[in-house]
Amino acid sequence: MKKSDSSWMDEELALFRDNVRKFIATEITPFEEQWDERQYVDRALWTKAGTAGLLGTDVPEEYGGAGGTFAHEAVILQEQARAGNTSWAKGVHEIVTHYIVGCGTPEQKKRWLPKLVSGEMVGAIAMTEPGTGSDLQAVRTRAERDGDSYLINGSKTFISNGHHAGLLIIVCKTDPASAAKGISLIVAEHPTTLPGFKRGRLLHKIGQKGQDTAELFFENLRVPAENLLGEREGQGFYQLMNQLPRERLIIAIGAIAAAEAALEHTLAYVRERKAFGKRLLEFQNTRFRLAERHTELTLGRVFIDHCLQRLIDGQLDAATASMAKWWCTQKQCEIVDECLQFFGGYGYMLEYPIARLYADARVQKIYGGANEIMKELIARTLD
Ligand SMILES: Cc1cc2nc3c(=O)[nH]c(=O)nc-3n(C[C@H](O)[C@H](O)[C@H](O)COP(=O)(O)OP(=O)(O)OC[C@H]3O[C@@H](n4cnc5c(N)ncnc54)[C@H](O)[C@@H]3O)c2cc1C
């Protein structure tokens, strides 16, 4: 299957891709089953990735980063998807890193970024609460100023990297009487060591099983006031809105790459499997359906490349990122479902990568902003 060539790829990125592929083959793939069972990756994976230069590839060098661009991050996301790796929530870690890059004070950047880039700290962001997810303005977690600290009370759920989190951004209300303007982002460093912080269950999911997804509880969690992200209270909602295009593109890149992997697995299968004396690939139904999926994936790739270049140029707007997020994840789910059908009963067996791709895909339409919210954001630009 010929993939469309991405305009942003160059020789240096091709070499980088080889290194990422090797890292995943040696440090991740052999352990996936074990991580799936216990629902979290080895903590050491983060420091190994840091040492291998795979964290914060687009963080400025003055903060310990490699000074690359978002294209380096895209290469890693694509290689993770190609290998069927969803246990390592590196995308979330990088989203958190970029909150610090984009919203932190110079002192906060110096304090936290080198540790995020080395893997000494694992990043997590806690927005969703049991009572509210899509409607972020309705968060109830409260942060009250108490001398030189904030006292935080509330609870969060579905938090990726919640188990290993070393730097946790908590979305909370510093002014409960206000909606968007009452929200601030406050960082808890090494939260598990702090009194007032409790981690709940690791949540059982239908897919992405090796990725830790946790409930978190705060009961008078005391955090230094200097950990308020940025210069002043009430900026949280705007900080979130600024970073969301990046988060949405990260999801979209993974979606297209995972669907490409599904199509490759399927092609390998239908070339070999026989029914009624013919290879499955010889049935016109197979040929036409797979030709259609290949066409859709080519369109997806071209759109991703467009969005990626816009992000690198600082021009990716919220509506375009929302289009990428909903369309690519919708296509991922449709394509993986259709591919699975060609495997017959084997497609339902977890030992076949297509089954895992199917289970891992579903959540992509839900997190990072449900796809309905994406359409709402796009529709607002049509008014
Ligand atoms: C595996 C996993 C990992 C996650 N990781 C994180 C994380 O790291 N940090 C974090 O903060 N959160 C995380 N989440 C939470 C995720 O972002 C939320 O589940 C998501 O935003 C939806 O919120 P909700 O579950 O409260 O659904 P609700 O807000 O209750 O929405 C339910 C459904 O209602 C519909 N809906 C809602 N609002 C509208 C509307 N305005 N118009 C039309 N339809 C609407 C949509 O279909 C939506 O799916 C994760 C979730 C999962 C499952």
Ligand 1 atom closest to the Cα of residue 134 is 29
Report the relative pairing of strands 142-146 and 149-160 from DSSP bridges. antiparallel
pLDDT at residue number 373: 98
Pocket test for ligand 1, best of 135, 136, 158, 237 (most atoms within 8 A of CB): 158
The position carrying tokens 């026989």 is 274
Ligand 1 atom closest to the Cα of residue 160 is 8
Q: How far apart are CA 261 and CA 266, in angstroms?
A: 9
Q: Is 247 a catalytic residue?
A: yes
Question: Which residue minimizes the CA distance to atom 32 of ligand 1?
Answer: 134
Q: How far apart are CA 213 and CA 40, in angstroms?
A: 8
Question: Which residue minimizes the CA distance to atom 36 of ligand 1?
Answer: 372
C-alpha angle 263-304-1 in degrees, rounded to nearest 5: 30
Q: Is the CB of 184 under 6 A from ligand 1?
A: no
Catalytic, out of 12, 247, 334, 372: 247
pLDDT at residue number 3: 63
pLDDT at residue number 5: 74
| Contact (CB, 8 A) for 190 and 152 | no
DSSP 211-277: S-EEEEEEEEEEEEGGGBSSSSTT-HHHHHHHHHHHHHHHHHHHHHHHHHHHHHHHHHHHHH-EETT
Lookup: tokens for 217 = 């509880």
Name residues whose C-beta falls within 8 Å of residue 227's C-beta, 6 or more positions apart in sequence. Answer: 108, 150, 186, 187, 188, 189
pLDDT per residue rounded down to tens, the chain (383 residues): 666 578 899 999 999 999 999 999 999 999 999 999 999 999 999 999 999 999 999 999 999 999 999 999 999 999 999 999 999 999 999 999 999 999 999 999 999 999 999 999 999 999 999 999 999 999 999 999 999 999 999 999 999 999 999 999 999 999 999 999 999 999 999 999 999 999 998 899 999 999 999 999 999 999 999 999 999 999 999 999 999 999 999 999 999 999 999 999 999 999 999 999 999 999 999 999 999 999 999 999 999 999 999 999 999 999 999 999 999 999 999 999 999 999 999 999 999 999 999 999 999 999 999 999 999 999 999 98
Q: Is the CB of 367 under 6 A from ligand 1?
A: yes
Cα 25 to ligand 1 centre (Å): 32
pTM summary value: 0.97
* Other beta carbons less than 10 A from residue 294's beta carbon: 17
